[in-house]
Structure 1
């Protein structure tokens, strides 16, 4: 859960500064955050699957 909160905080900071950053930098940051959230989702899904087995 802490990772999710940190990811959302980082995304909020990046959205606030997106007006001051070049578009490619914003897109790279968005891709990094999306990747982080995807890894979190997959880890949680894997963990939940182990509990139900």
Structure 2
């Protein structure tokens, strides 16, 4: 239960910080994170075979 509370608190802090970040910084940062997650997913799926 403590883990869930900590995760929700961290999510709230991150969303709050993103709400005050300028769009010209937020959009490239979000794209970079999306690409990183895509690369991670592809690497994990190809490692199984």
Aligned equivalent of 2:6: none
Q: Which structure has the highest helix share of the two?
A: 1
Structure 1 residue runs of 5 or longer lacking an equivalent are 1-11
Greater relative contact order (CA < 8 Å, ≥ 6 in sequence): 1
Match of 2:21 in 1: 21
State how far apart, in whole Å, the 1-side matches of 2:20 and 2:34 are: 21
**TM-score, length-normalised on structure 1?**
0.58
Show structure 1 runs of 4+ deviating over 3 A: none
- The two structures, once aligned, show a CA RMSD in angstroms of 1.3
**Unaligned 5+ runs, structure 2:** 1-10
Taking structure 2 as the reference length, the TM-score comes to 0.62
